[in-house]
Structure 1
Amino acid sequence: MFSLSSSHSYFLYQGRCDMRKGFDGLCGLVSAELDRNPTSGEVFVFLNRPRTHIKLLHWENGGFVLYYKRLEKGTFSLPKAMDGHVSLSWAELVLMVEGIQIQKSIQKTRFHI
Structure 2
Amino acid sequence: MISPAGNFRIYLAAEPVDFRKGMDGLAAIVQSEFDLDPFSGAIFVFRAKRADRLKLVVWDGTGLVLVYKRIEGAGFVWPRTRDGVSVASDPYF
TM-score range, shorter-chain basis? 0.7 to 0.9
Task: Quote the residue 2:85 is aligned against.
Answer: 84
3-state SS, counterpart of residue 26 of structure 2: helix
Runs of 5+ in structure 1 lacking a partner?
Answer: 86-101, 104-113
Q: Give aligned-pair identity as a percent.
A: 36
Following superposition, the deviation at residue 73 of structure 1 comes to 1.4
TM-score (norm 2): 0.77
Residues in 1 aligned to 2:5 and 2:59: alpha-carbon distance in whole angstroms: 13
Task: Quote the residue 2:45 is aligned against.
Answer: 45
**More helix per residue: 1 or 2?**
1
Residues in 2 aligned to 1:59 and 1:5: alpha-carbon distance in whole angstroms: 10
Aligned Cα RMSD in Å? 2.4
Which one has a bigger Cα radius of gyration?
Answer: 1
How many positions carry a matched residue from both structures?
Answer: 85
TM-score (norm 1): 0.65
CA distance 1:61–1:6, change in 2 (3 Å): closer
Matches within 5 A, 1:11-30: 11-30=11-30
**More strand per residue: 1 or 2?**
2
